[in-house]
Chain A
Amino acid sequence: MFNADFMQRALIAAMIVGAMAPLIGVFLVQRRLALLGDGMGHIALTGVGISFLTGTGPVATALVVAVAGAVLIEVIRTRSRAAGDLALALLFYGGIAGGVLLASLAGGRGSTSLNAYLFGSISTVTHTDLYILGGTTAVSALVMLVFAPEFLSISIDSDNAVIAGIRVRVIGTLLAALAAVTVVVGMRVVGLLLVSAIMIVPVAAAQQWADSFRTTAIAAVVIGLAATVSGLAVSSYTPVPPGPASVLFALGVFIVAALTRTAMRAIRQRGRI
């Protein structure tokens, strides 16, 4: 099934997303920003709309718009705690409305293929995409490797991070930018509306059983990879787009993990009595 050229490209893209998204997501969940990726997906949609209208590459354009959006979000979030929530909502709705509007303006081509960006499509990953994805992933992985201790530090305790001399705003913005990059990387295979689920759901499943940050991250990456690859497989046999299939797979893992954990607890407690 992975013999066809386009399937191989899609598989590479799916594996990149499956591994990278939960790795960023584990920090977002700890920072209580689980919905940040969702918002960035909305903003990236404006990037896709712009690319339809101007004829630029959708991945590259969405990347620029999403990263700019990430920086803007972090500025809003840190400057005004109270109004931040509302400002973010405005930005997110503006993003999705803008994307759809621009795509419609671009005519028939835009509005019909918008679905592929919203929910993912296995046939849309081009060679150029793959180079951009590979490049951005390599850079992201490097940033992750160098700054993982800082990301962990600001995620656990931002006051303590300030005292330790970490520039919390800068590192927080960097993390948000990485999340934006991941959203765009996942746009092709999982779709903008669901890519943030691949950031968050594997983490939610992994933390049911893990007892450290490290094991949570590793388990989440494994679950994320399994979800995107099996989503792709389902999508190649059925008319279901890969995004929903991947997310439902991850949700299934979460439900099983949560149920077994609850059951184990109940058994252990009964044993105690």
Chain B
Amino acid sequence: MTSIVDVHHLEVSVEGTKVLRNVSLAIERGTCTALLGANGSGKTTFVRALLGLQPADDGQIIWFNEPGVRYQSHNRVALVPQLLPGVVSVPISVHEFVASSMSTPNHRWLWRYTARKTRAARVRAALQDVDLEAKEYRRIDALSGGEQRRALLARAIASGADVFFFDEPLAGVDLLHQERLVVAMQQLIANGATVVIVAHELEAIAGLVTRAVVLGGTGECSVLYDGGPEGIPGLRSHEDHHLHEHTGDAGRLLDI
């Protein structure tokens, strides 16, 4: 399997406190990885460091097997954050928000000369994927929380990415919208996308995940567990959920 990103001995501090120690792992193409851990275990920091949003103290991050090449030059990676970035000060329509991911330098000239219709069609297709086409010309801040999550996903889809990072995609979303989001993520994976989900609530995504990484170690290495989801009690079905208190460390280390 080819890897999307290889991480070697990554060390990251946030405001002077070491959050990630000696993290080495590779994410393979077409997989769905759950990144788990208690609050403050460094899950989000790890993703931010991978994406260059958080400077690393030490270690190496190699994207697409090309050392020294910015991952951005491929236009293949998207982050679906937990919430809309800050409070929206100026009104922004859902259409404009989704289209904002298409204005990258790499497709800029294409973007300029692509007919307006084609561009709009791509935005509409992304909105259809997340079942939000009816709200295309609403203000983004007038959408409900669940709808905003889907708009964030549509923005990632419209960017043309095939590697998706989800930051707590289901936290604070009601069950109906959780299901819709899971279906959307399922579709991405079925289309060959690589997905990494930072998660707290495990049951809802259990069907998607092929691998689980648990962060939060305080010793030499921040990775507590890295393997199949079957090793994580929380990822089992509801019925044997109660087992988790009797199983090994990994279960207790999770905040579930």
A interface with B by C-beta (< 8 Å): 26, 29-30, 32, 149-150, 152-153, 155-160, 162-166, 203, 207, 210-216
CB-CB under 8 A from B39, the residues of chain A are none
- A152 touching B96, Cβ below 8 Å: yes
- B104 touching A29, Cβ below 8 Å: no
- B90 touching A216, Cβ below 8 Å: yes
- B103 touching A153, Cβ below 8 Å: yes
CB-CB under 8 A from A157, the residues of chain B are 81, 85, 100
Q: Residue B214 at the A interface, CB < 8 A? A: no
Shortest distance from the beta carbon of B66 to any chain A beta carbon, whole Å: 15
CB-CB under 8 A from A166, the residues of chain B are 104-105
- Docked pose: A144 CA to B58 CA in angstroms: 39
Q: Which of B151-195 contact A (CB under 8 A)?
A: 155, 159
Given known A152-B96, A166-B104, contact A212–B139 (CB-CB < 8 A): yes
- A213 touching B53, Cβ below 8 Å: no
Chain A interface main SS type: helix
- B96 touching A214, Cβ below 8 Å: yes
- B100 touching A212, Cβ below 8 Å: no
Given known A29-B90, A166-B105, A216-B90, contact A160–B155 (CB-CB < 8 A): yes
Most B CB contacts (10 A, CB to CB) among A157, A164, A207 go to A164
Q: Residue B65 at the A interface, CB < 8 A? A: no
Q: Residue B73 at the A interface, CB < 8 A? A: yes
Given contacts A26-B90, A216-B91, 20 further A-B contacts (CB under 8 A): A29-B89, A30-B88, A32-B86, A157-B100, A159-B51, A159-B53, A159-B79, A159-B81, A160-B79, A160-B81, A164-B101, A164-B159, A165-B104, A166-B104, A203-B90, A210-B91, A211-B93, A212-B92, A212-B139, A213-B92
